[in-house]
Amino acid sequence: MKARLDTLIGRITMYNLMVLVLGVIAVVALIASAVGQIFYTPLQLVLSLAVALVATLVSSWVLALAFRTRAHLQSAAITGLLIFFVFIPTGEVVSLLLLAVTGIVASASKFLLAIRGRHIFNPVAIAAVVMSVSTLYPSAWWVATPVLLPFVAVGAFLVLYRTRKLALGLTFVLLATAISTARMMTLGTGFGDALWLAVGSFPIVFLAGFMLSEPLTLPPRRWQQLGVAALVAVLFSIPFQIGPVYSSPEIALVIGNAVAFAFGQRRSIRLRYQGVRDLTPTAASFDFVPLAPLRFRAGQYLELTLPHKGADSRGTRRVFSIASSPDEGAQAERVSVGIKLSQPSSSFKTALAGLEPGSVVRATGVSGDFLLPTDASVPLVLAAGGIGVTPFVAQLADRARGGSRPADVVLVYAVSAADELAYQPELLAAGIRVLVTAPTEPSDLPPEWVYLGSGRLTSDTLKAAIPDVAARRAYVSGPPGFVDHVSAEFRHAGARRIHRDAFSGY
């Protein structure tokens, strides 16, 4: 079931998934309005949705022209849909104009409330703060209604699952629900009524799934993300007042965004393209030089931004594991990413392959918790599916450079063809055991490496090739289907500590 879900939603980009899910909720709201289950009329909903979308799309396009960049219209559409659910639907001309102003404020925040190329706040949340504090058009979060809750919950689950942020969402939902329920019980509400009121009439699930989870406003490490989720949950659930500012969902989220920004890479990441080298017939390494100090840890990833004409539905941003290791002081003088260049290729990869040396590209940030233990004596088993070997290349090189080569590490390397073994020189230099699965045995397999056969990895295969697999800490990297399957086989083989790095993207 999990593999099927991964395959299904893996075919949809994160932006398209957000637009699709929010669009479905909007249609459900319109139907519920038509049958009298939502207070607002269908005309009010249609007019408000149209104004929010037009305002964000047009303002994003105009602002992009002014800042000499390319408008991200899918992101603008998501912003418009979120504004539709957060602000009161209306049919009055003045209110519709204020709703349009809200969309413009949200779009402008992406360009104006940014430091060194990274925007700080969720655009809809900061627009809600501006409009509410100024009393021009206060937020209402009308999406928080029992009629829409099942659809919001399913949509939030899909978004959090696709971005691998279920722990983040659950932390916020459980803590916010518990505090809100307890607070209402202290006011005399029974437990059942208080719980249902918190879940059904507070925008807890909506905020967790569609706004708190925005990658560009999250800190890079998992523990930091969970801490921010807990902070936002507390601020969301406990009323407070600071001067003329009263507690609200948007205030809670904006404060959380500010804390998250303090954790992250607080400068624009600009990379000068050096060139490309072939790794396999279908994979290549793209090398860049950071134009300012860049800090990361071996095993983390970055999100490259590459505006280009004719961008397809997969967009202009893509996440890649870093294949090069950080230099002394955790600063990199070179950043390399290994990329599978399958055919037909996406417009992003086509544009990347066509870059001229010397071109400058941007990255939105460095993130990730797929890190090897600091104790190099811990025995490890690494499993890579295809180009999923890239984080291991960085990690092994980092340990070798630091003089702390792991005492015992085995790499299980699964490829789709015999000639698809990437980074052979780097892996040979690491001096580790390498076990290979491929449809046929590679003719140039290094003597130290072992060919396991052509079938899928199974627990029996793993136990036969690595008798002490249960005593090793396991790391699995690759496409979601590969990661799900191999992780399950590791568990069947007795491994208990399994770390996963599936390519999800946004």
Tokens of 213: 């989870």
CA angle, corner 483, sides to 477 and 488, nearest 5?
130
pLDDT digits (tens, 9 = 90+) for 257-301: 999 988 865 566 889 999 999 999 999 999 999 988 888 889 999
Distance CA 256, CA 235 (A): 9
Low-confidence stretches of the chain (pLDDT beneath 70): 1-4, 6-8, 10-11, 116-118, 264-268, 313-315, 328-332, 343, 402-407, 503-506
pLDDT for the residue numbered 3: 62
pLDDT, tens digit (0-9, with 9 covering 90-100), for 64-96: 899 877 777 888 999 999 999 999 999 999 999
Residue keyed to tokens 């104006």 = 112
| pTM assigned to the model | 0.83
Phi-psi region of 140 (alpha: psi -120 to 50; beta: other; left: phi over 0): alpha
Please report the DSSP string for 383-439 in residue order.
EEEGGGGHHHHHHHHHHHHTT---SSEEEEEE-SSTT----HHHHHHHT-EEEEE-S
Which of 1.10.760, 3.30.70, 1.10.3430, 3.40.50 would CATH assign to domain 2-263?
1.10.3430
The answer to whether 475 and 501 are in contact (CB under 8 A) is: yes
* Contact between residue 303 and residue 356 where contact means Cβ atoms under 8 Å apart: no
Find where tokens 């390519």 sit: 503
DSSP bridge pairs for 77: none
Helix (H) or strand (E) holding 65: helix 42-66
> So what's the pLDDT on residue 10?
66
The ranges of the chain annotated as CATH 1.10.3430 are 2-263
The CATH code for residues 269-367 is: 2.40.30.10
DSSP string, 339-358: EE--SSPPHHHHHHHTPPTT
Are 470 and 495 in contact, with CB atoms under 8 Å apart? yes
What CA–CA distance (Å, rounded) separates 182 from 126? 28
Inter-CA distances, 196 with 53, 133, 178, 191, Å: 32, 29, 11, 9
For residue 80, what pLDDT is reported? 97
Contact present, 208 and 156 (Cβ < 8 Å): yes
Give CATH 2.40.30.10 domain extents, the chain.
269-367
Phi, psi of 204 (to 5 degrees): -65, -50
**Residue limits of CATH 3.40.50.80 in the chain:** 380-502
Instruction: Specify the CATH number for 380-502; select among 3.10.20.30, 3.40.50.80, 3.30.1960.10, 3.40.50.300.
Output: 3.40.50.80
pLDDT of residue 67: 84
What pairing do the DSSP bridges indicate for beta strands 380-385 and 473-478?
Answer: parallel
